[in-house]
């Protein structure tokens, strides 16, 4: 699950590398490597062994899991907001497809907003291609990562969604409320 926390967004990266978290390498990639030693190479990942540990990263490009842009705010969870090459996932009602990060449906529109004056969506898109590029925000922006399974829609009607992480039950228990 995406962790719940607050911090400050400080910069964006265009054409990001994806440094694959150790948990994904160990749980998802190593079993496939045992079946096919060229598995990661075929997918274009860069692999290094350093101090006896496997480090995997995916270079920038069309297939990069982070898409073309990521929004960075320091945190102990290695979580950030990012684009995605699998845009079709936004059409699904359930959205638990990541390992904690948050996919952004219109990342270049968001970049225009957070970067402010002088940074149009087109200007940010113009940075696509080539190597990783960092763009520092003119001022940090508070960001709050939350989790909600209830909301009020445009017609004022309460909408409830499945609580896939069980957070609502934990809150009810902490408040001494019945299930």
pLDDT tens-digit profile of 63-76? 899 999 999 998 88
Rounded Cα–Cα distance for residues 39 and 59 (Å): 16
End-to-end CA distance of the chain: 22
**What mean pLDDT is predicted for residues 103-130?**
94
**Span of 93-102, 107-116, 149-158 with lowest mean pLDDT:** 93-102
Residues with active-site annotation = 82, 101
Q: Assess contact for 13 and 101: CB atoms under 8 A.
A: no
Residue range 138-147, pLDDT digits in tens: 999 999 998 8
* Alpha-carbon torsion (19, 68, 146, 2), positive or negative: negative
Burial class (CB in 10 A: 0-12, 13-18, 19+), 51: exposed
pTM comes to 0.83
29-34: Cβ within 8 A, 24+ apart: 29/56, 30/54
What mean pLDDT value characterizes the chain?
90
Per-residue pLDDT at 52 exceeds 70: yes
Q: Which residues contact 173 (CB under 8 A, 6 or more apart)?
A: none
Query: pLDDT band at residue 95, thresholds of 50, 70 and 90?
Result: low
Q: Assess contact for 12 and 75: CB atoms under 8 A.
A: no
């Amino acid at each position: 699950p995406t962790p719940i926390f607050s911090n400050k967004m400080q910069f964006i990266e265009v054409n990001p590398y994806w440094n694959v978290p150790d948990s994904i390498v160990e749980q998802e990639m190593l079993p496939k490597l045992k079946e096919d030693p060229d598995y990661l190479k075929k997918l274009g990942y860069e692999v290094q062994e350093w101090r006896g540990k496997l480090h995997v990263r995916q270079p920038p490009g069309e297939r990069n899991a982070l898409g073309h842009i990521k929004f960075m705010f320091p945190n102990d969870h290695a979580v950030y907001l990012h684009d995605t090459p699998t845009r079709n996932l936004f059409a699904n009602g359930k959205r638990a497809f990541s390992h904690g990060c948050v996919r952004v449906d219109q990342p270049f529109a968001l970049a225009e907003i957070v970067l402010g004056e002088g940074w149009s969506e087109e200007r940010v898109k113009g940075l696509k291609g080539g190597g990783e590029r960092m763009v520092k925000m003119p001022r940090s922006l508070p960001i709050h990562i939350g989790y909600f399974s209830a909301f009020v829609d445009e017609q004022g009607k309460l909408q409830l969604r499945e609580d896939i992480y069980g957070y609502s039950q934990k809150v009810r228990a902490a408040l001494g409320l019945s299930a």
